[in-house]
Structure 1
Amino acid sequence: MPSTPTLIFIIIFYLVSLASMLQNGFMMIVLGREWMRNRALLAADMIVASLASSRFCLHGVTILTNLLASFDFCYQANLVGIFWDFTNTLVFWLTALLGIFYCVKISSFSHPVLFWLKWRISQLVPRLLLVSLIIGGLSAVISATGNIVADQKTISQGLHENCTFGHMSLDFYRHYYLCHAVLMWFIPFFLFVVSIILLMFSLYQHVEKMRGHRLGPWDPHTQAHTMALKSLTFFFIFYILFFLALTISSTKTKTMQSFWYWAREVMIYTGVFSNSILMVLSNPKLRKALKMRF
């Protein structure tokens, strides 16, 4: 029987996960209706809809994995964990794609590559979404391979009962998934950070230019920069907590009865939930649908 603080975190985890599933389901329905009505979606809305779908699946898979592991269905939990790696990697790359899209569309740099991307990125979004799916599939293959090797090492040590890892398999698990985190999660995280930095620098250049022309700082282009920066900054705060918590979890394996395991789960998925709130509030279609509903 878990302790009272652990039980509190377990309850918070499931409540946050269910609330986030409802929230992302709402986003999927609103944008899905928009697509059905117009037979098309804006490029930014395509990314948001894909991100909402992947987060909905991420929460669902996480709930299922924790439930299976809690009842010692370790083999089934490992199988579902492969889908968790797929959806989690997909969330990282779609988040990076959203940051890059805003940076390219709003920034005012005169570099030829960025200028070309500004006019082409909307057409490239469907292909980039497909690339994200392929990378997510590659992550699932890597995860499955790691689980097979770890299980074989565990069986060879005679510790396959009750989800117990031996020392050799645990060391392998930690190092393998740390490399996995660096390869699949750090790259999109880095791209997202670079996008925010470039957008900030672009805003600074634009404001200085407006001052030189003695124009007001709140022209529409500056407002677009500022609104995007506000959303991406808060997005970044929760995103970095999500990234750090996942990286730590890749190097430190906790049991299901551990207080710190559930505290980490609450930290990770509260960050995802908070990001989803920002996506709803920063998207005009979703914000309008929310006002009409409530």
Structure 2
Amino acid sequence: MVGDILSPVVIFFWIILGILSVIALLGNGFITAMISHQWLQTGKMASCDFLLTTLSTSRFLLQLSSLLGYPVYFNIPEVSFYYSALAVMSISWFSFHITSLWSATWLSILYCVKVTNFPNNFFFWLKTRINVLVPRLFAMSVAVSIIVSLPSFVCYFQDEKSCNLTETQSVNNYQNLFFAPISLHFTIMAINFSLNVTASILLLASLWRHTRNLRKSGIAVKDLSTQVHIKVMKSVLLYLFLYVLYITSMMLATARILKYGRPERLVTEILLSALSAVHSAILISTNPKLKKASAYILKIRERAS
């Protein structure tokens, strides 16, 4: 185990993972701080800002809990104490993971409904009520996902507690604690994946159709509206690509195919952190308020230096 941890390839992967984790923590922490500050000043928070806050906060806590899990995994001197700690960490990790997934999905649906236009009565009705419906649907999604998963966690912990675990067994079972309800986890991710990808594809199709119409109407390619549409499409495509990699990596980790701490498992950990890091950068660069705040902070730092 020690030789694998200290190999050059694994050290390189740990460095990449560390860099992405820091970027993810800074990016998501910045989004949470900025929107929360604005909410404290105005006392109001739009549906979009609410989802951005829950997404960035859950990802921040998810990244933090994952980082805290590594030293616990590689240092387990007291099985009874650390097993209880791992049980608490696993439920917390799962809650943050589910919250981040549904936040991203409903944020994609919100953007899709607001931007796209389809000649459909239900769509028109949804468009006028999406701001009220999305927070409620998000809360229902997270609550149902956690509630239906908790019995599986409880049964798993009770079964393991009834056994006389050795230190080796506890170490080997660490990665299993995070993915006790495998079938339910797969089902939740499948539903989430379907909704998120569908919303993203509809948004891309609408933006592409609108951009093509602008070009056919004789508006130059360098027109500001066209460039904005193209920039948004690139951002959505990049997010969709990273999201697919995230779900694929999560399913591989959930299926327990890759052993914890191995180089191939570290690749999946890197892909999981990449979505959180890159998506936070995309959200900051495409949100006028967050972009303005980040530019202001960077200017202050430049003056200070």
Question: Aligned pair 1:265/2:269, yes or no?
Answer: yes
1:216 maps to: 219
Amino acid at match of 1:161: E
Distance 1:164 1:34, change over 3 A: closer
Identity %: 24
In structure 2, relative to structure 1, the CA distance for the partners of 1:150 and 1:268 (3 Å cut) is farther
Deviation larger for 143-152 or 120-129 = 143-152
1:41 aligned counterpart, secondary structure: coil
TM-score normalised by structure 1 residue count = 0.84
**C-alpha contact 2:211 2:229 (8 A) present in aligned 1:** no
In structure 2, the partner of 1:98 is 107
Q: 1:90 touches 1:136 (CA, 8 Å); kept in 2?
A: no
Identify the residue that residue 115 of structure 1 maps to in structure 2.
Answer: 124
1:239 to 240, 243, 255: 243
The equivalent of 1:134 in structure 2 is 143
Normalising to structure 2: TM-score of the pair?
0.81
* Mapped contact 1:178–1:247 kept (Cα < 8 A): no
Letter matched to residue 167 of structure 2? E
- SS of the equivalent of 2:59 reads helix
Corresponding residue for residue 161 of structure 1: 167
Q: Are 1:71 and 2:75 counterparts?
A: yes
Q: Is 1:82 the counterpart of 2:91 in the alignment? A: yes
After superposition, give the CA deviation of every residue in 1:67-89 in whole Å (9 maximum; x if it has no partner): 22221234312320111111111
Please, what is the CA RMSD of the aligned residues?
Answer: 3.0
Alignment deviations for residues 136-182 of structure 1 (CA, whole Å, 9 cap, x no partner): 532651552363266258x2xx554232559xxx9x98996441232
5+ residue gaps, structure 1: none
Gaps of at least 5 residues in structure 2 are 77-81, 299-305
How far does the alpha carbon of each residue in 1:70-120 deviate from its partner, in whole angstroms, 9 at most, with x for none?
Answer: 212343123201111111111111111011011100001111111111111
Whole-angstrom distance in 2 between the partners of 1:31 and 1:42: 10
Aligned: 1:249 with 2:253: yes
Alpha-carbon distance in structure 2 between the residues aligned to 1:146 and 1:15: 37
The one-letter amino acid paired with 1:126 is: P
What number of residue pairs does the alignment pair up? 286
Rounded to whole Å, the distance in 1 between the matches of 2:101 and 2:21 is 18
Give SS of 1:40's match: coil
For the Cα contact (< 8 Å) 1:13–1:265, is it kept in 2?
Answer: yes
Quote how far apart the aligned CAs of 1:234 are. 1.1
Q: Does 1:9 align with 2:13?
A: yes
- Which of 183, 186, 189 lines up with 1:182 in the alignment? 186
After superposition, the Cα gap between the structure-2 partners of 1:26 and 1:204, relative to the gap in structure 1 and judged at 3 Å, is: closer
Contact 1:89 1:136 in 2 (8 A): yes
